[in-house]
Amino acid sequence: MRWQDMTWQEIGALDRDRTVVVLPVGSVEQHGHHMPTGTDTYLATAVSEAAAALVDAPVAVLPSPWYGLSAHHMHFPGSITLGAETMMAMVGDIVASVVQHGFRRIAVVNGHGGNAGIIDVLASTLGHRFYGTARIACLTYFSLAREAIAAARESRHGGMGHACEFETALMLHLHPDLVHQDRAVIHYPETGTPYLSTDLLAGSIVRSFVAFDDLSESGTFGDPGLATAEKGERFLALSAEALADFLKDFAGWPIAPKTA
C-alpha cells in the first residue's frame, strides 16, 4: 500500500495497532559516471514496497522525503545535503504526523550509508518521544540483509561501496533506462588505514569524515562491472525478504515493552 496513492478514508480504515508504516529514506547525491543522483531513494523505496508485498500484516509505505545527509558528496555537482538538524526535524515531523493519526508502528528504512548515524539518533530520540504510544524502528536495508548479500556478491572487499556491484545491479533491474553502464568506472578505494573501510557490508567501527573525491575521482567505490540485471533481481529479493522478516516480527512488538 503506497500512502500517497490512498484516500484519507482508506488510510483511516487501516488497523492502527497492526499496520506497520514504513518511511523510506535515501539521498540525492552523485552515483558515479553511470548512475542517477536519486539512486539511494529509488532503491530504499523499491525494497520497502517489495517487502510490503511479502507481509500478511498491513504495511503502508510513505513517500520518501528523498534527501539525506550527503556532505561527503558535495564536491560533485548535483549532490544535495540536508543539515543533520534538518533531517532530524523532518523525519520527526513525518513520524509525529503518522502517530497523530493513531498508527503505532513506524519503521524508517534507510538506503544510504551517510544516514546511518542519524537514524541511530532518531531511533533513540523518537523512541523516547513516543514511548508508550508508538514503537519506532530504524534500519539500513542492506545491513539487515548483510549475510545474504555477502553470499551472493562476486566482488572482493571494496567492490561494494557506492555506485558499485550491488547498487548498479539493483538499478539495472529496476530502472535500466537510468543506468549508463558503458560509462561505469571500476575503482577499489584505498583509505590508507585498516580502521576505515569503504565496503557497504563491512562498516567502520572508527568513524571519520572523508570527502568522497579524496578517494575516488569518478565518485564510484567498487565494481559496477560485475553488475547485471539478473543479479539485481536477486539482490532485490534478498533485501526484500530480510526486510519482510523484520516487518512481520515488528508487527507483533509490544508498544510499551515492559517485561519486568
Residues in the interface with Zn ion (CB under 5 A) total: 3
Nearest distance in Å: CB 246, Zn ion: 21
Given the rule CB under 5 A, which of 86-94, 137-145, 149-157, 166-174 is the region that contacts Zn ion?
A: 166-174
Close Cβ partners of 17 (under 8 Å, ≥ 6 residues apart): 104
Distance CA 91, CA 74 (A): 22
Neighbours of 100 (CB within 10 A): 9
CA distance 210 to 212: 6
Q: Which is nearer to Zn ion, 146 or 248 (CB)?
A: 146
Single-letter amino acid code for the residue at 209: F
199 binds Zn ion (CB under 5 A): no
Distance from C-alpha of 68 to C-alpha of 77, rounded to nearest angstrom? 16
Q: Give the Cβ contact number of residue 35 at 10 Å.
A: 29
Taking the complex as a whole, how short is the minimal distance between the CB of residue 42 and Zn ion, in angstroms? 9
- Tell me the three cell numbers of residue 88: 532530524
**Distance in Å, CB of 200 to Zn ion, minimum:** 9
Q: Which is nearer to Zn ion, 99 or 163 (CB)?
A: 163
Of 165 and 167, which has the nearer Cβ to Zn ion? Answer: 167
Q: Which long-range contacts link 228-231 to residues 24+ away (Cβ below 8 Å)? A: 228/169, 228/172, 229/169, 229/172, 229/173, 229/176, 230/173, 231/152, 231/165, 231/169, 231/173
Nearer to Zn ion, 105 or 112 (CB): 112
165 binds Zn ion (CB under 5 A): no
**Cβ proximity of 90 and 24 under 8 Å:** no
In angstroms, what is the minimal distance from the CB of 111 to Zn ion? 7
Shortest distance in whole angstroms from residue 1 CB to Zn ion:
26
Closest distance to Zn ion from the beta carbon of 40 (Å) = 4
Does the footprint of Zn ion cover residue 40 (CB under 5 A)? yes
Binding segment toward Zn ion, per CB under 5 A, in 100-108, 144-152, 162-170, 190-198: 162-170
Residues 10-39 that bind Zn ion (CB under 5 A): 39
Residues in the site for Zn ion, rule: CB under 5 A? 39-40, 167
